[in-house]
Chains A and B, each alone.
Chain A
Amino acid sequence: MSYIAKPKFHHPKLPVNDLGLTQRDYEGSLSTLCAGCGHDSISAAIVQACHGLSIEPHKVAKLSGIGCSSKTPTYFLNKAHGFNSVHGRMPSIATGANVANKELLYIGMSGDGDTASIGLGQFSHAVRRKLNMVYIVANNGTYGLTKGQNSATTDPGSKNKKGVDNALEAIDIAGLALQLGATFVARSFSGDKNQLEPLLKAAIAHKGFALIDCLSPCVTFNNNPGSTKSYDYIREHNETLNRTDFVPMKEEIVTHYEPGSSHEVCLHDGSVLHLHKLGDEYDVGNRIDALHYLQRKQSEGKVLTGLLYINTDTSDLHEIENTVDKPLNQLSKADLCPGNAVLQNINESFR
């Protein structure tokens, strides 16, 4: 980790976005994670994505549980409120927060222990509820803060730092999210920011539960030979399904794509996602195919990354619940309290 305070000066000609803000306006405090930690790259990608989309920083709520992953919200978007909750319980905090105010952008940061072990239940049910949020799992297959125990996403046969094979089956977070009805499911690699950033932009623009299972190696406890979550292993076995270009609604589409090479997905806010297929053909709008393909690639020993599934034709929790347009936290007493005259009528019904 670094010990010096983060400097505030920046190059006077740093590019500004539509709000007149530079990337520095989207940064957070200096990271206290290990040098080379994959999670820092995720933080950087979030900074870039939010800046690129001209999101007002204070209109973001960043939430997390416990673990190295869950420390990261300190390292991006200093102007946003943060909630570092308890282990594995971020989804319920996010659910309550989102129901209270639908107008903020909710970014949840979690890890494999936080999501796949202690928080598996809350994660599953947040997905089921179609909560409108971006849920990022910084997945390194190990418990870093407690010094390298296996997690529920450690692959069978993956070696830990001491060279011991993991005997247990792994939970595939992306596969689980697909099964439970997430409407945006991607897997990425923190070592590939060019892939991660557009995926993040698309996840933010997506309305509904957007999961990014981001492989993010732990340089201290799980980057050893034989580990399936090391930088080397992921680079060697990464099979990129597609490349995404995110075109915000306001921008004119200038790039021309060769016919047949790309697939366009129009998002809720009018933005367009261009998907360049790199691997085998399958329709990212077909959940069954996605599940099947994910498992096939896994059995082949590949680490499949890219946008695995997207469904833009769905409702989020607020639509399902049919809540009023105005955020619930902005309703006043006049909106909410029926008054004493009504109460006296209610009293009469108990006579």
Chain B
Amino acid sequence: MKVVKSIDHSVRINDFVIKFANVNGTGSASANHLFAKSIFRMGIPVSPRNIFPSNIQGMPTWYEVRVNENGYLGRKEAVDMVVAMNAQSFLDDVNSVEPGGYLLYDSSNYLDTAQYRNNINWIGIPISEICLREFSNPKQRQLFKNIVYVGALIALLDIEFSVVKDLVKDQFAGKEKLITSNVFALELGCQWVKENIKCPLNIRVKRANKLKDKILIDGNEAAGLGCVYAGATIAAWYPITPSTSLVDAYSKYCHRLRIDPGSGKKKFSILQAEDELSAMGMVIGASWNGARAFTATSGPGVSLMSEFLGLAYYAEVPVVLFNVQRGGPSTGMPTRTQQSDLLATAYASHGDSKHILLFPANPAECFQMATEAFDIAERFQTPVITLSDLELGMNDWISDRLEWDDATAYDRGKVLSADDLGELEDWGRYKDIDGDGIGYRTYPGTHPDKGAYFTRGTSHNTYAEYSEKGEDYVEGMERLQRKFNTAVKVLPAPVIKPSEQNSLYGVIYYGTTEPAMDEALNILKNQGIELDAMRIRAFPFNKDVFSFIEHHQRVFVVEQNRDAQMRTLIINEGDMNPASLDTVLYYAGLPITASYISKTIMDKLQKLIPDNKTFIERRSTKGSSDELYCET
């Protein structure tokens, strides 16, 4: 190991970022997950991120793991260690290490490290050589390279070997041969390091008790499970990254929990449609017929579904849609994350259409909002679109446990039974009897003589009859607006995190910006900048959103798109003064970071209040924001 002398070598426990650089399709993902989960099992907050290409085999792929005892788990740019297993991306990977950081590489072939950087620590381990010597099967020689470097990390970072061993046992339960060979590979890596390198390194882990009963789960898994709990019986979908694993999760739990024990038949149906248009049509058809149905997609799918979303809005058919956002426009960055479908979903489809949106910020909320989405969609007889993103959908997050209250009844909305219909003299599907904008539905086949009507996307009167009369049309459109106003009252309210002193400045954010935002608020606080913060959780907006803005001189809207779509939506819907809302935008495809948010806000405040130098001076004495954070 080549050690850098000139850099500060203070020990950092449970606070570092390690990046694995691999070749896609070489089995690295499960080894890297094993590493991350081991740290989780040691009670240390950890956030793994799979940064993968749109490719099946051969292209570079990375897996970043941030370890942070304080529980700040947003992405951090500064990488303390790289496990460089990909020749193709080697130079970039070497350059991505922070000065004084570590580069672990396979030293089986000679590498003149002097050709590269001398301000990082080089850790050469003959990984291929070890595998070639110890395994005879060519497939094993390849796959176990990954396990050998995990073994090496056990020694280098002081991970408890027994924790990793138990995980392997859990993962391969019942497959003794696999357990033995994997544990052997772990030992090989661990042993080699112990014999050849002074360890542990200055960055290392130590068992903590920070996680209590938390779980490590991705948002799509939680949302798919939420659909099972919500009583969804039909999933209609078309495969698209990064939403596919949501339907996969629904399928997995349905096959486990929804098979009728007597007959072996399914209490669900999963329809793989020919495209997203059809997927949405199936959801509408099923919901119209009284089943709970949903689809999951990403931006390109939403574009195709827009035609049908307009129909569902106007004909008032419940729809539950999960949009796991990725980078747009067009095919965009299919394997990168963004929050860029806000406007495309809020106003999806031609004419005056608008839709209810939910913004989950963590897996527990994915589960919760998945269950709520069905209630809201049926109660308001309209599409409900849950907007998560690749960062939340496909990466493991430390999360609160998922909870379900067994006393919860499904809210199926205003649906008339045969008995109800029998008692009614007069019924019109789109009559606003209760003044809340919501009419009474009937399912097909309910009553022999009453309750039949025509569901249509054409203009209609309150009896669902085709009408081109202006007053009929306007009455319907105004009622739809009334319905939205009713919805605001029951949609998830924003979460407000006030500063200690009421600040003149506020910040609005939503979805996966949360972990980075929490950390940024702390960084800013240490710079003497206190901000009131509000996380929006639904559209149409709660009145608190607008009053929050009115009560601040300026509000920063932090989001992960180019065009400040949330800001636009707020200005448009609340008739807000654009000058009161400033932007903090990050949309390069990786999750937004705390240092980016805090730096952007500080720069903007500096321009805004140049006379107030207090926080700027403090900033210059304390160094970079990341280091600042580490001191706290």
A binding-site residues for B, Cβ under 8 Å: 56-59, 61, 63, 73-74, 78-86, 89, 91-101, 103-104, 121-122, 124-125, 129, 321-325, 328-329, 331, 333, 335-340, 342-344, 346-347, 350-351
Q: How far is the CA of A96 from the CA of B271 in the complex (A)?
A: 9
Contacts of A99 in B (CB 8 A): 234, 269, 271, 282, 285-286, 291
Of the A-B pairs whose beta carbons lie under 8 Å apart in the complex, a sample of 28, sorted by A's number, is A56-B448, A74-B466, A82-B454, A83-B455, A91-B278, A92-B277, A92-B279, A92-B282, A93-B281, A96-B286, A97-B285, A99-B285, A100-B286, A100-B293, A103-B445, A122-B277, A122-B278, A124-B274, A125-B273, A324-B267, A328-B234, A328-B286, A336-B233, A337-B231, A338-B257, A343-B225, A350-B215, A351-B41
Residues of A within 8 A of B410 (CB): 333
In the complex, B109 has a CB within 8 A of chain A = no
Residue of B whose beta carbon sits closest to that of A338: B257
Not counting A81-B443, A122-B278, A323-B265, a sample of 5 additional A-B residue pairs whose C-beta atoms are within 8 angstroms of each other reads A91-B281, A92-B285, A321-B266, A323-B269, A340-B406
Name A97's contact: one of B231, B289, B404 (CB within 8 Å): B289
CA distance A124 to B278 in the complex (A): 12
Contacting residues, chain B, for A56 (C-beta < 8 A): 448
Q: Which B residues touch A79, using CB under 8 A?
A: 448-449, 452
Question: Which residue in A58, A100, A124, A351 is a CB contact (below 8 Å) of B233?
Answer: A100
Q: For chain B, residues 233 to 287, give those with C-beta under 8 angstroms from any C-beta of chain A.
A: 233-234, 236, 253, 257-258, 260, 263-269, 271, 273-275, 277-287
The 10 closest A-B pairs by CB, nearest first: A92-B281, A96-B285, A81-B444, A100-B291, A96-B282, A96-B286, A350-B215, A93-B285, A100-B289, A97-B285
- How many residues of B are counted as interface, with CB atoms below 8 angstroms from the partner's CB atoms? 71
Q: Mark B514-535, 1 if CB is under 8 A from A, else 0.
A: 0000000000000000000000
Question: Given A324-B265, A347-B401: A331 and B278 within 8 A (CB)?
Answer: no
Asked if B510 lies at the interface with its beta carbon under 8 angstroms from chain A, I say no
Residue ranges of B at the interface with A (Cβ–Cβ < 8 Å): 41, 213, 215-217, 225, 228-231, 233-234, 236, 253, 257-258, 260, 263-269, 271, 273-275, 277-291, 293, 307-308, 311, 401-406, 409-410, 442-449, 452-458, 466
Indicate which residue in B231, B283, B288 contacts A336 across the interface (CB closer than 8 Å): B231
Query: Given the complex, which residues of B lie within 8 Å of A338, measured CB to CB?
Result: 228-229, 253, 257
Give B600 Cβ to nearest chain A Cβ, in Å. 34
Tell me the bound Cα distance from A304 to B259 in angstroms.
47
Q: Which residues of B contact A321 (CB under 8 A)?
A: 266, 269
* Contact present for B265 and A325 (CB under 8 Å): yes
Chain B residues, CB < 8 A from A342: 257
Closest Cβ neighbor of B214 among chain A residues: A351
Beta-carbon nearest neighbor of A89 in chain B = B281
Shortest Cβ distance from residue A22 to the other chain B in the assembled complex, whole angstroms: 14
Q: Which of B231, B289, B458 has the most CB of A within 10 A?
A: B289
Are the CB atoms of A328 and B236 closer together than 8 Å? no
B285: A residues at CB distance < 8 A: 63, 83, 92-100
What are the residues of chain A within 8 A of B287 when measuring CB–CB?
96, 100
Q: Tell me the nearest residue of chain A to B367, going by C-beta.
A: A343
Please, which residue of chain B has its CB at the minimum distance from the CB of A82?
B454
Give Cα A57–Cα B444 distance, bound, in whole angstroms.
Answer: 11
CA of A350 to CA of B363 in the docked complex: distance in angstroms?
Answer: 12
Whether B229 and A337, one on each chain, are in contact in the complex, defined by CB atoms closer than 8 angstroms, is yes
Would A329 and B290 be within 8 Å (CB), given that A95-B271, A338-B229 are in contact? yes
Contact, CB under 8 Å: B229 / A343: yes
- CB atoms of B444 and A96 under 8 A apart: no
Known: A323-B269, A324-B265, A333-B409. A97 touches B286 (CB 8 A): yes
Chain B residues near A92 (CB-CB < 8 A)? 236, 273, 277-282, 284-285
Contacts of B278 in A (CB 8 A): 89, 91-92, 95, 121-122, 125
Max chain B Cβ within 10 angstroms of own Cβ: one of A95, A101, A129, A325: A95
Tell me the bound Cα distance from A346 to B404 in angstroms: 12
Which listed residue, B229, B284, B409, touches A96 by the CB 8 Å rule?
Answer: B284
**Minimal Cβ-Cβ distance residue in B for A339:** B406
Residue of B nearest to A347 (CB): B401
CA separation between A100 and B235, bound complex, in Å? Answer: 11
Cα–Cα distance between A344 and B236 once the two chains are bound (Å): 28
Establish whether residues B448 and A61, one from each chain, have CB atoms under 8 Å apart when the complex forms.
no
Which of A80, A94, A122, A333 is in CB contact (< 8 Å) with B452?
A: A80
Across the interface, which residues of A come within 8 angstroms of B260, CB to CB? 324
